[in-house]
């Protein structure tokens, strides 16, 4: 989630002060993610340093309004038009945990997966219930909320499917004892083991 670009996009609609930005962000994301005011002001200060926004004077209520600059507006246009590129895979905590459980001596990976799947299924059920409850709402805020909720539902469904797939793979593995002890050979400095295999193949002349 890009807080930086989201705040810029809101400011591109008009000048806002900190709490107003927090409110507008919540309206446009269905209040799924909350921003604290400190995070907002830290982001605004960085945007000001980068020439994306300008700080105005305080009004009679003490509200300091922030205005976007032409460079900031250009950055919003670029952000909205460019697709999100997932070049580097995220370091997915659940995948790392399951992989660790599958290779650590004395750990029952099946138990780890079953516990996680039960938790993931409960979360999925709660998301589906929430989506059903808000189904008839037709306001712009409700639409924003439902779009974010749908994304979370699809991600939760994919997580449950992956856990089921992983459980089947481990159950069918020809070597049920997958535990890895500590390597006896000291690793050399430089690229980690397996890095060479992850390089892109050289083009054929």
CA 2 to chain centre: 9
Say what the pTM is: 0.66
Q: What residue ranges do the domains of the chain occupy?
A: 3-81, 93-172
pLDDT for the residue numbered 174: 66
Cα angle value 143/7/89 (rounded, 5°)? 80
- Residue 19 CB: number of other CB atoms within 10 A? 11
- Residue 190 CB: number of other CB atoms within 10 A? 6
Mean pLDDT by 10 residues, the chain (205 residues): 89 95 87 84 96 93 95 95 71 85 85 94 91 66 84 93 93 70 74 53 47
How far, in Å, are 29, 150, 169 from residue 142 at the CA level?
9, 12, 40
pLDDT for the residue numbered 125: 94
Which residues on neighbouring strands pair with residue 64, listed in sequence order?
58
How far, in Å, CA of 144 to CA of 153, rounded? Answer: 14
Nearest C-alpha neighbor of 28 from the set 52, 11, 51: 11
How far, in Å, CA of 128 to CA of 145, rounded? Answer: 13
How far, in Å, CA of 110 to CA of 102, rounded? Answer: 8
pLDDT for the residue numbered 204: 46
Pick the CATH number of 3-81 from 1.10.10.10, 2.130.10.10, 3.40.50.300, 3.50.50.60: 1.10.10.10
pLDDT for the residue numbered 100: 87
């Amino acid at each position: 989630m890009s807080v930086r670009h989201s705040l810029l996009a809101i400011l591109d609609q008009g000048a806002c002060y900190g709490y107003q930005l927090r409110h507008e962000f919540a309206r446009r994301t269905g209040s799924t993610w909350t921003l604290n005011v400190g995070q907002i002001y830290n982001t605004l200060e960085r945007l000001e340093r980068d020439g994306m926004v300008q700080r105005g004077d305080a009004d009679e209520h003490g509200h300091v309004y922030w205005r976007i600059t032409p460079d900031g507006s250009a950055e919003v246009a670029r952000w909205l038009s460019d697709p999100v590129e997932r070049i580097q895979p995220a370091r997915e905590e659940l995948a790392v945990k399951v992989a660790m459980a599958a290779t650590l001596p004395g750990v029952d990976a099946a138990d780890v997966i079953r516990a996680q799947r039960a938790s993931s299924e409960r979360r999925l059920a709660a998301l589906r219930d929430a989506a059903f409850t808000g189904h008839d709402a037709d306001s712009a805020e409700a639409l924003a909320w439902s779009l974010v909720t749908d994304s979370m539902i699809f991600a939760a469904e994919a997580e449950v499917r992956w856990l089921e797939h992983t459980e089947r793979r481990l159950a069918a593995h020809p070597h049920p004892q997958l535990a890895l002890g500590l390597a006896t050979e000291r690793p050399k400095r430089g690229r980690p083991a397996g890095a060479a295999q992850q390089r892109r193949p050289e083009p054929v002349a």
